[in-house]
C-alpha cells in the first residue's frame, strides 16, 4: 500500500515529487509528506494528514525546494493516520526515509534503539529504519549506501525505501524486497516510484529492481547492487504508455471512466488471441500448448474482485472445460496445508500483480508440486507476473479507481480464453469453441448497449441513497457476479451489502427482508431462471423491494415492489461479464448520491501490498 516517489536531479524536484504523489494517491491517502535537501543542504520536510492536496496547501505557506528529495502517500498499517505517523521519517536532522511495506521485527529493533537513546516520534514500523541507518553512519562510520545495505540486511518483512542524508547531498539510495519499486531513468536526472505511472510525465525508461536490490543513485549515475552486495546490471525497459494514460479526462471519476472503457479494454484483451474462431495457445506462453495437454485440474488463488473472477471461472472450467477446479482466497490458502494432485495448474488472478497475499501464496505454491503457474494480471512488470511461469495480461490499461471495474471484466475475458484452451483438450467441440469465441468478439458491442442503461440505473440508485443494507441475488455463475455487485456497493457507497445464491434465502437471510432492504437480482434467461423466479416471489411476498436486471426475453414482469430493467439479450457463457456492468453503474450512482469519495473510498487502497 503506500506510494513512494523520489528524485535526484540538477533541477528543483518538488514539482516532480508532488505530481508523482498525486499519481500514486490511489495506493493510500491517510497522509502525505515530502523531504528535500534544501540549498543549504539541510533537511526540509512538509507533511499533512489526509490527501496530497492537504500537503500542497501546507507547501503553499512553506515552500520546499531542493535537487534531491523523497515523498510518500500513506495507507496506515502501524499507527493511526496522523501527522506524526506521516512519512518521511527523520533521524537527528540528518537522515530521511520513506517506506512502503511492513517491518516485522520492528518491535525488537525499536527496543534496542530506545536503549541507545533514540526518542520515537511516531508509532510506525518505519521509524526504526531511519534510526538504524543513522546509527550505522554515525557510530559505524559507513557511508549512506553501506548504511542502507547494512540496515536492510537486518530487516524482516517487506520494504521499498527511498533514503537521503545531509551528509551526502546529491545522493538518493533506494532498496526493495517484497514491495514494488521502479527506477525512472532520465537525462542527467533519476527517479524512484512505486509504479511507472507516477513518473510517466518525466520518463518512459525504467529499471525494475529485483528482490533485495539496493541502488545508489545520483543525477548522473545509477549503480545497482544485489542482495549479496555484488554490483549488477539490470536492463532498462522502455514503455509505450503515454503520460496521460492514467488521467481522468472529461469523466467525473476514474471509476466512471474505467466503467466506460470496458468495451475497448475487452477488445485489447482479445487482440491477437483468437484466430479463425480458435483461442491461440501461445497467448499463455511459448510452451503452454504442450503443457496444457497434461493439465488435469486447476487451482485458482486470488483476493477481492479478482477472487470473484476466479469463482466465475470455476463454473466455466467445470461446465465448459470439464476440468475440476478449486478456488480459495489467497489469505486463507497460504496458511493451510494442501494436497496437490498431479497435473494441477496453479492460477493467480490479480489486477495489480502486487497483492501481498496472492504473491505469497504463489511463492508457496511454487514449492508444492504444481505442474505450472499462470498469472492473469494487468501489470506486466509486476511481482506476480515475474514470479509466474506463464502470464496472460489483461491489457485493461491503468485502473486507478480503488473499486475494480475494467480489471474484473477483462479478467473474466482472459479466464474464458483459458477455459476454452483447456476445454479443447477435454472434449470441447470445435463448434462450441467457435461459438464462444464469436460471443467474446461480440462482447464490446454488447457492453456498449448495456452502458446505455446508465440513466435508468441512475434513477434506480435514488432508492438506495437512504438505505443501510442491500441484498444481492444470483444463481450459478451469476452468484459471484452478485458478490461482485455487493462488494462494489459496500466499497464505494458504504451501504452494507451481502450476496447470496438465491436458493439460500429461505435458509436464513429471508428474515431480513422488509421495505428497507432493497434486493438486487441478476436474472439472465437461463435454465435457472424459473428457480430464481420462485426465490424472487419469496422476497416479494414478504414486502421486499426487488430490483431485477433481466434478459430482454426473460418472462418476468414488473409489479408493485418489483422493478425490472431489461439488459440486451446475451449468450449464456458471456452473461456474467455483461451483467456485471449494470451492477457497477448502480453502485457508482448510489455512491454519487451518498456523496462519498468514489475513487478513494475510506480505509481502502488500490494495491494491497501488505498482509
Query: Catalytic site residue 606?
Result: yes
Are 183 and 4 within 8 A, CB to CB?
no
Question: What is the DSSP code (8-state) at residue 559?
Answer: B
- Please select the residue that binds ligand AGP; options are 135, 195, 213, 491, rule is CB under 6 A: 491
Residues near 342 by beta carbon (within 8 Å), at least 6 away in sequence: 296, 371
- How far is the first Cα of the chain from the last one, in angstroms, to the nearest whole number? 10
- Please select the residue that binds ligand AGP; options are 151, 203, 269, 352, rule is CB under 6 A: 352
Contact between 183 and ligand AGP (CB under 6 A)?
A: no
- Please select the residue that binds ligand AGP; options are 402, 578, 592, 598, rule is CB under 6 A: 402
Nearer Cβ to ligand AGP (278/386): 386
548 sits in which H/E element: strand 545-551
Number of residues that bind ligand AGP (CB under 6 A): 14
Query: Catalytic site residue 91?
Result: no
Nearer Cβ to ligand AGP (31/394): 394
Q: Which stretch binds ligand AGP (CB under 6 A): 52-60, 65-73, 347-355, 575-583?
A: 347-355
Cell of 285: 506462453
Q: Which of 2, 303, 325, 377 is catalytic?
A: 2
CB atoms within 10 A of CB 514: 11
Give the nearest residue (CB) to ligand AGP: 304
DSSP SS3 for 402: coil
Q: How far apart are CA 606 and CA 73, in angstroms?
A: 12
Are 241 and 196 within 8 A, CB to CB?
yes
Are 383 and 362 within 8 A, CB to CB?
no
Query: Degrees (nearest 5) of the Cα angle 318, 475, 583?
Result: 110
- Please select the residue that binds ligand AGP; options are 31, 73, 126, 404, rule is CB under 6 A: 404
Q: Which of 22, 177, 314, 606 is catalytic?
A: 606
- Please select the residue that binds ligand AGP; options are 113, 179, 299, 358, rule is CB under 6 A: 358
Helices (H) and strands (E) in the chain, counts: 18, 27
Are 348 and 376 within 8 A, CB to CB?
yes
Query: Degrees (nearest 5) of the Cα angle 408, 398, 72?
Result: 115
Contact between 394 and ligand AGP (CB under 6 A)?
A: no
Contact pattern from residue 283 through residue 312 relative to ligand AGP, giving x for each residue in contact according to CB under 6 A and a dash for the rest: --------------------xxxx------
DSSP-assigned beta bridge partners for residue 183? 192, 207
Contact between 351 and ligand AGP (CB under 6 A)?
A: yes
Contact between 262 and ligand AGP (CB under 6 A)?
A: no
Nearer Cβ to ligand AGP (5/402): 402
Nearer Cβ to ligand AGP (165/306): 306
Contact between 361 and ligand AGP (CB under 6 A)?
A: no
Q: Which stretch binds ligand AGP (CB under 6 A): 110-118, 267-275, 399-407, 431-439?
A: 399-407
Q: How far apart are CA 587 and CA 144, in angstroms?
A: 49
Q: What are phi and psi of 325, to 5 degrees?
A: -140, 135
Q: How far is the CB of 262 from ligand AGP (least distance, A)?
A: 14
Nearer Cβ to ligand AGP (7/610): 610
Contact between 355 and ligand AGP (CB under 6 A)?
A: yes
Q: How far is the CB of 355 from ligand AGP (least distance, A)?
A: 3
Q: Is 110 exposed, middle or buried (0-12, 13-18, 19+ CB in 10 A)?
A: middle
Helices (H), 462-553: 478-493, 529-541
Contact between 409 and ligand AGP (CB under 6 A)?
A: no
Of 450, 417, 438, 474, nearest to 262 (Cα)? 450
- Please select the residue that binds ligand AGP; options are 268, 331, 350, 545, rule is CB under 6 A: 350
Q: Which stretch binds ligand AGP (CB under 6 A): 16-24, 55-63, 260-268, 402-410?
A: 402-410
Residues serving a catalytic function are 2, 606
Binding site for ligand AGP (CB under 6 A): 303-306, 350-352, 355, 358, 402-404, 491, 608
Amino acid at each position: 500500500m503506500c506510494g513512494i516517489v523520489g528524485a535526484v536531479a540538477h533541477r528543483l524536484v518538488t514539482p516532480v515529487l508532488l505530481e508523482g504523489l498525486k499519481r500514486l494517491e490511489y495506493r493510500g491517502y491517510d497522509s502525505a509528506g515530502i523531504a528535500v535537501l534544501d540549498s543549504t543542504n539541510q533537511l526540509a520536510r512538509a507533511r499533512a494528514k489526509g490527501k496530497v492536496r492537504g500537503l500542497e496547501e501546507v507547501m503553499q505557506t512553506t515552500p520546499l525546494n531542493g535537487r534531491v528529495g523523497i515523498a510518500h502517500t500513506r495507507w496506515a498499517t502501524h499507527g493511526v493516520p496522523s501527522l506524526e505517523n506521516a512519512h518521511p521519517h527523520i533521524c537527528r536532522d540528518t537522515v530521511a526515509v520513506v517506506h512502503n511495506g511492513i517491518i516485522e521485527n520492528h518491535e525488537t529493533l525499536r527496543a534496542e534503539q530506545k536503549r541507545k537513546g533514540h526518542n520515537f516520534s511516531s508509532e510506525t514500523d518505519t521509524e526504526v529504519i531511519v534510526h538504524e541507518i543513522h546509527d550505522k553512519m554515525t557510530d559505524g562510520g559507513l557511508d549512506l549506501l553501506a548504511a542502507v545495505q547494512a540496515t536492510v540486511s537486518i530487516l524482516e518483512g517487506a520494504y521499498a525505501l527511498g533514503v537521503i542524508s545531509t551528509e551526502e547531498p546529491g545522493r538518493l539510495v533506494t532498496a526493495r524486497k517484497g514491495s514494488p519499486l521502479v527506477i525512472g531513468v532520465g537525462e542527467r536526472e533519476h527517479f524512484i516510484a512505486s509504479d511507472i505511472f507516477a513518473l510517466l510525465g518525466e520518463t518512459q525508461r525504467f529499471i525494475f529492481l529485483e528482490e533485495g536490490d539496493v541502488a545508489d543513485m545520483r543525477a548522473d549515475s545509477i549503480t545497482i547492487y544485489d542482495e549479496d552486495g555484488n554490483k549488477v546490471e539490470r536492463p532498462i525497459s522502455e514503455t509505450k504508455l503515454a503520460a496521460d494514460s492514467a488521467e481522468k479526462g472529461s469523466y467525473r471519476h476514474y471509476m466512471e471512466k474505467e466503467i466506460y472503457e470496458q468495451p475497448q479494454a475487452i477488445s485489447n484483451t482479445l487482440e491477437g488471441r483468437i484466430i479463425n474462431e480458435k483461442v491461440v495457445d501461445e497467448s499463455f506462453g511459448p510452451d503452454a500448448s504442450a503443457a496444457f495437454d497434461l493439465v488435469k485440474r486447476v487451482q485458482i488463488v486470488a483476493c477481492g474482485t479478482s477472487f470473484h473472477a476466479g469463482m466465475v471461472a470455476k463454473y466455466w472450467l467445470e461446465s465448459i472445460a470439464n476440468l475440476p477446479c478449486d478456488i480459495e482466497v489467497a489469505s486463507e490458502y497460504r496458511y493451510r496445508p494442501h494436497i496437490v494432485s498431479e497435473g494441477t495448474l496453479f492460477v493467480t488472478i490479480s489486477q495489480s500483480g502486487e497483492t501481498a497475499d496472492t504473491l505469497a501464496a504463489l511463492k508457496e505454491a511454487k514449492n508444492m508440486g504444481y505442474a505450472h503457474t499462470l498469472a492473469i494480471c494487468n501489470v506486466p512488470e509486476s511481482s506476480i507476473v515475474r514470479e509466474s511461469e506463464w502470464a496472460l495480461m489483461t491489457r485493461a490499461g491503468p485502473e486507478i479507481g480503488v473499486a475494480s471495474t475494467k480489471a474484473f471484466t477483462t479478467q473474466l475475458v482472459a479466464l474464458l480464453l483459458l477455459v476454452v484452451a483447456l476445454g479443447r483438450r477435454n472434449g470441447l467441440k470445435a463448434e462450441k469453441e467457435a461459438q464462444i469465441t464469436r460471443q467474446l468478439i461480440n462482447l464490446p458491442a454488447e457492453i456498449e448497449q448495456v452502458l446505455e442503461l446508465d440513466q435508468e440505473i441512475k434513477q434506480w440508485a435514488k432508492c438506495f441513497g437512504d438505505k443501510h443494507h442491500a441484498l444481492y441475488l444470483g444463481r450459478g455463475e451469476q452468484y459471484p457476479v452478485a458478490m461482485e455487485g455487493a462488494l462494489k456497493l459496500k466499497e464505494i457507497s458504504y451501504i452494507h451489502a451481502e450476496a447470496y445464491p438465491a436458493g439460500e434465502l429461505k435458509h436464513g437471510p429471508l428474515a431480513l427482508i422488509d421495505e428497507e432492504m432493497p434486493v438486487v437480482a441478476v436474472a439472465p434467461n437461463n435454465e435457472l431462471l424459473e428457480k430464481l423466479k420462485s426465490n424472487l416471489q419469496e422476497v416479494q411476498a414478504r414486502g421486499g423491494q426487488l430490483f431485477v436486471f433481466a434478459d430482454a426475453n426473460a418472462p418476468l414482469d414488473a409489479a408493485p415492489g418489483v422493478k425490472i430493467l431489461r439488459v440486451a439479450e446475451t449468450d449464456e457463457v458471456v452473461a456474467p461479464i455483461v451483467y456485471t456492468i449494470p451492477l457497477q453503474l448502480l453502485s457508482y450512482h448510489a455512491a454519487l448520491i451518498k456523496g462519498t469519495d468514489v475513487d478513494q473510498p475510506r480505509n481502502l487502497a488500490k494495491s494491497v501490498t501488505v498482509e
